[in-house]
Every structure is written in structure tokens, then in C-alpha cells.
């Protein structure tokens, strides 16, 4: 992959005539190989690319899904697992998963319940079922190889816009805007001057992310990974370390004095006492058993019968648990 040189700092001249690198309206412009483009945010994309890519070269973590041997399947598995789950929890499960199922066809040959069992305590276990369904589709539609086409990736079960863009970018070096929580936070602060992005991804964020993509495909892939890593390690949701940030001198939020978030309240996540906790305990019983378990074994892990019953019904409805005759339950076989 190629890199680009770190550009000069942003010019903040207030002269009456437009400066070089601006259009007559005063908006910043970015030069590509075919001409000049204007960033709607007023940020010159190139003035972010160089410092962030140079920082990434020095500070990127050595993660197994970033290594060449991971391949497209390793990238896809990591993207499913990393959704709402920290890297430190994903690493051991990821390595066990790839050791057991090094190709999509290997996973597709097993019952979906085995995927749920191997998912362990990563949380949100429907991701395991979706990954299994994607593996079946890859085996049946694509001769066992993760497709490189963005549209074909989107057509796989359980894959949305983010995961399709991430696999196409990280595994195949294509030019796509990859917008996870970390990237959205970096762009919100550096380019938009706000502390946090909206609760849900907006069309304006997608436009900004596309505008800030480097023109070169290989560099665009590195930019996606680098901006994601910057959000994970430096531009974090809490206790951001601006002193280590490679674009602190041009960050719109920092230059504005780090104004506090004034949008809708940010959603927090609770776990203790929720149906999610109950579901986790019920699934743990089933994962730890080689065969079906009686109702009494499930009753023993949560005292409150109404909530326990509701959680179990939800697991059955989601396809994570199969009810059997005689009040027994098991992980799904089909």
C-alpha cells in the first residue's frame, strides 16, 4: 500500500482575497490526480490523511485479522465479532474460531448451534447465527470464497453496509467509506467540530466520509483502518488523549475549545438484571451441555420465573434455542 506525504497545517487566513487551496466561497479544497475537489466540511482531506497515516504506521496494533494470512474470511469473522465487543474479548475467541473453521465451508458443514457454542460469552449471540448463515451462502453461491464485490457482500445474510464496506476495504483494498463508531467519532471531532456523532449514522456523515476518502484505492483502505485505530486508541469516547493525536493542531473540536455535547442524550448500556443477562445465563447452560437439557437446569440459573420465561421464549424466537419434547432444550441443529 502506498502512503502520502504529510501536508502543511491548515491555513486560517482572514485575508479578503481567497487563499490558495480555497474556492471563492472560502471553502477548503482538496487536489486529486484529476483536479480539485471541495470538502463540504471546509476541511482539506489531504491535511488529515498524511498525519493520520503516518501515526498509524508507527502505532497500529498487530492484530491477527490485519495480517495477510487472515484473508477475507478472517476479516469477515473479525468484523462480526468486533461489533459492540472490545478487541481484548474477541482475540481468544477469534483465534479458536479460525483454528476450528479456517474456511467458510468448514463452518457451513457444522450445525448452527455449534457456532453459538463457540461464540462463548462475546454477547449478542445472534451474530453467530448470522455468521453461520453467511458461511452457508458463501459455500453455496460463491464456491466457498468470500466475494470481493461489494454488492455480493451486501447480499449475504447478516451483512449490512458497514460490514460489506469493511470486508471490501480491509480484505480486498477497495475504496469504500467504512463508518464504525470510532471513525464516526474521529470525523465528528476533527471535521465537524462536535464531541460526539449522532446516535444513528446520518446521510451527512456518509457524505463527509466519502469526501474525506483518499482517491487512491490502496491509500483509502489504509485510511479506513488508520482512522478507526485513532478512534480506538486516542480519540476515545471518554478521556480522549489529544496530546497524542496527530491532527490535534487541525481538529475542529479542539480548536473550538472542546465544546460539550449538546445533542440528544447518548444511549448507555446496562446489563445487570436485564433480559440480556438472563438470556446469557440460559445460553451458558446450553453451551456447556453436550446434549439437550431439562427445564429444571434452566430454572436453576434465574429465580424470577416471568423474566426467565420471557428470556427463554426470546431465545427460541431468535432461533438460538430449540425446544424439544418433554420440556427439554438444545442449541439449534438446523
- pLDDT tens digits, residue range 261-290? 998 887 767 888 999 999 999 999 999 999
Q: CB count, 10 Å around CB of 324?
A: 11
Tell me which of 47, 79, 114, 205 is the catalytic residue.
79
Alpha-carbon dihedral sign for residues 320, 325, 328, 334 = negative
- Can you give the pTM of this predicted structure? 0.84
Fold of 275-330: Arc Repressor Mutant, subunit A (1.10.10)
Which residues, in sequence order, are CB contacts of 283 under 8 Å at separation 6+?
116, 125, 315, 320, 321
Task: Say which residue the cell 497524542 belongs to.
Answer: 244
Specify the CATH number of the domain 29-59+177-255.
1.10.1670.10
Interval 27-53 mean pLDDT: 64
DSSP designation for 295: H
Decide: helix, strand or coil at residue 75.
Answer: helix
79 among known catalytic residues: yes
Decide: helix, strand or coil at residue 226.
Answer: helix
Interval 89-96 mean pLDDT: 98
Task: Say which residue the cell 429444571 belongs to.
Answer: 296
Residue ranges of the chain that CATH labels 1.10.1670.10:
29-59+177-255
For the stretch 41-89, pLDDT in tens is: 577 898 999 999 999 999 999 999 999 999 999 999 999 999 989 999 9
Residue ranges of the chain that CATH labels 1.10.340.30:
64-172
Which residues, in sequence order, are CB contacts of 216 under 8 Å at separation 6+?
2, 4, 33, 175
Nearest to 170 by CA among 286, 102, 89, 82: 82
Residue ranges of the chain that CATH labels 1.10.10:
275-330
φ, ψ at 14 (rounded to 5°) = -110, 20
| Contact between 49 and 4 (Cβ < 8 Å) | yes
The yes/no answer on whether domain 64-172 falls in CATH 1.10.340.30 is yes
Instruction: Tell me the average pLDDT of the chain.
Output: 88
Amino acid at each position: 500500500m502506498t502512503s502520502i506525504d504529510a501536508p502543511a497545517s491548515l491555513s486560517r487566513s482572514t485575508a479578503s482575497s481567497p487563499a490558495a487551496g480555497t474556492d471563492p466561497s472560502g471553502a477548503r479544497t482538496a487536489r486529486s490526480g484529476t483536479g480539485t475537489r471541495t470538502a463540504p466540511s471546509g476541511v482539506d482531506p489531504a491535511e488529515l490523511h498524511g498525519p493520520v497515516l503516518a501515526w498509524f504506521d508507527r502505532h497500529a496494533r498487530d492484530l491477527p485479522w490485519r495480517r495477510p494470512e487472515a484473508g477475507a474470511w478472517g476479516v469477515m469473522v473479525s468484523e462480526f465479532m468486533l461489533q459492540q465487543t472490545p478487541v481484548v474479548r474477541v482475540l481468544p475467541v477469534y483465534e479458536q474460531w479460525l483454528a476450528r473453521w479456517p474456511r467458510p465451508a468448514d463452518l457451513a458443514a457444522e450445525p448452527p448451534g455449534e457456532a453459538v457454542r463457540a461464540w462463548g460469552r462475546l454477547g449478542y449471540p445472534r451474530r453467530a447465527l448470522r455468521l453461520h448463515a453467511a458461511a452457508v451462502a458463501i459455500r453455496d453461491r460463491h464456491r466457498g470464497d468470500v466475494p470481493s464485490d461489494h454488492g455480493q457482500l451486501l447480499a449475504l445474510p447478516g451483512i449490512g453496509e458497514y460490514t460489506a464496506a469493511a470486508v471490501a476495504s480491509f480484505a480486498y483494498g477497495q475504496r469504500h467509506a467504512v463508518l464504525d463508531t470510532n471513525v464516526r467519532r474521529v470525523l465528528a471531532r476533527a471535521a465537524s467540530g462536535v464531541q460526539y456523532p449522532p446516535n444513528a449514522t446520518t446521510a451527512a456523515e456518509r457524505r463527509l466520509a466519502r469526501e474525506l476518502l483518499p482517491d487512491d484505492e490502496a491509500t483509502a483502505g489504509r485510511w479506513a483502518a488508520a482512522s478507526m485505530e485513532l478512534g480506538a486508541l486516542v480519540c476515545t469516547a471518554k478521556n480522549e488523549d489529544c496530546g497524542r493525536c496527530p491532527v490535534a493542531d487541525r481538529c475542529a473540536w479542539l480548536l473550538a475549545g472542546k465544546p460539550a455535547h449538546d445533542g440528544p442524550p447518548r444511549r448507555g448500556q446496562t446489563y445487570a438484571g436485564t433480559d440480556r443477562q438472563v438470556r446469557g445465563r440460559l445460553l451458558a447452560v446450553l453451551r456447556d451441555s453436550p446434549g439437550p437439557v431439562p427445564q429444571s437446569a434452566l430454572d436453576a440459573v434465574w429465580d424470577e420465573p416471568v423474566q426467565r420465561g420471557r428470556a427463554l421464549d426470546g431465545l427460541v424466537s431468535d432461533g438460538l434455542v430449540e425446544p424439544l419434547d418433554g420440556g427439554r432444550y438444545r442449541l439449534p441443529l438446523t
